[in-house]
Amino acid sequence: MTYFEFTRRFPTEEAAIDFIVSARYGDGYVCPKCGCVHKIYHQHYDPRKLYCNNCRTEWSALVGTIFGNTHLDLRMWLYAINLCMVSRKGVSALQLQRELGMGCYKSAWRMLHLIRGAMGRDEYRDTFEAVVEIDETYVGGKPRKENRHSGDDGHRRNRRGRGTSKTPVVGVTERSSGRIYARVALPAREGKKLGGKQLLKILDDVCRKNTTVMTDQLNSYGILDGRTGKDFIHIKIDHSTTYSLGDGRHTNTIESCWAVLKRSVYGVFHHVSVKYLQQYVDEFCFRLNNRDFDEAFMKCVRLAVA
């Protein structure tokens, strides 16, 4: 939605509340106390509250959702969700704070944190089929000082690619749809490579039986050459010889996703701590997988009230 469309769709705070409440309950309210489905009304003094005329209970229509504890206007929340959907690289808390004219950076940050949590509930289990590509990338800042091994010159450069102390993210893309699923996967020990079992677990989670899996030559993918529970078919690509032969043997799809992820992590968010990296990755996947802005907006609101 453009700003103009947004203000037309949600001209008032009541319109925003109605929208969220109906995303949650559909047309049927249920009283949490007596289970009654009739005679439930919005409180006239606070449209966020519902009232059951059968057992005379009042409750918040938003309890248990990401909007449950907010004192901010729900219009601001919907605006923030819409902003997350239409910004190709994501929205920083500072940017959101400015857009919404919020006094407090922490509130803007918390808002994005909860919205990303909702996006992270998008479900991918057992949905990828036919041909997928799997690959890892490494994101994050330089290694922390205390983790550096002192070399002769007193400090160590952060190595690129595998063996770096950045944080690994493993991603799987489905060729036919272009959908991506990605997960932060910390190796068993710092500085170690990701294990085959870790990689296989991720494929097991998202892929159907007999999926063909394209990988590069990382040794850990060798686990796919043995027996796997879902009988995956492994195609290993030797980047030095078969690159862009035009026979479909490549991992270019996932690699171009990584380029976008890195641009957003370094360009918009500057620094993402390991603790919150999965959330950024969830947001990134959600945006790539739901490219129609209006559908993505609707889906995010539904996940937010789920």
Q: Which residues bind Zn ion (CB under 5 A)?
A: 31, 33-34, 36, 52, 54-55, 57
Closest CA to 279 of 182, 190, 164: 182
Minimum Å gap between C-beta 44 and Zn ion is 18
- Provide the phi-psi class of 114: left if phi over 0, else alpha when psi is between -120 and 50, else beta: alpha
* Nearer to Zn ion among residue 58 and residue 225 (C-beta): 58
Decide if 22 contacts 15 (C-beta within 8 A): no
CB of 286 to Zn ion, least distance (A): 36
**Contact in structure between 286 and 257 (CB atoms under 8 Å):** no
- Closest separation in Å from C-beta 100 to Zn ion: 36
Q: Least distance from C-beta 64 to Zn ion, angstroms?
A: 17
DSSP string of 37-100?
A: -SSEEEETTEEEEEEETTTTEEEETTTTSTTTT--S-HHHHHHHHHHHHH-TT---HHHHHHHH
What does the CA dihedral 262, 92, 120, 200 come to, rounded to 10 degrees?
Answer: 20
Q: What is the DSSP string of 38-55?
A: SSEEEETTEEEEEEETTT
- Nearer to Zn ion by Cβ, of 55 and 274: the residue is 55
What is the closest distance, in whole angstroms, from the C-beta atom of residue 61 to Zn ion in the complex? Answer: 14
Write the CB contacts of 223 (distance below 8 Å, at least 6 apart in sequence): 196, 197, 199, 200
Instruction: Determine phi and psi for 60, rounding to 5 degrees.
Output: -80, 130
Burial class (CB in 10 A: 0-12, 13-18, 19+), 200: buried
**Residue number, 36 or 102, with CB nearest to Zn ion:** 36
Residue (of 143, 147, 213, 144) closest to 174 by Cα position: 213
Tell me how far, at minimum, the Cβ of 46 lies from Zn ion, in Å.
Answer: 18
Cβ closest to Zn ion, residue 55 vs residue 306: 55
Least Å distance, CB 59 to Zn ion, is 9
Are 74 and 23 in contact, with CB atoms under 8 Å apart? no
- 62/132 with CB nearer Zn ion: 62
- Contact of 85 with 300, CB cutoff 8 Å: yes
60 or 212: whose CB is closer to Zn ion?
60
Q: How far is the CB of 36 from Zn ion (least distance, A)?
A: 4
Q: Which of residues 55 and 186 has its CB atom nearest to Zn ion in the complex?
A: 55
Main-chain dihedrals φ then ψ at residue 19, nearest 5 degrees: -60, -45
Is the Cβ of residue 33 or residue 239 nearer to Zn ion in the bound state? 33
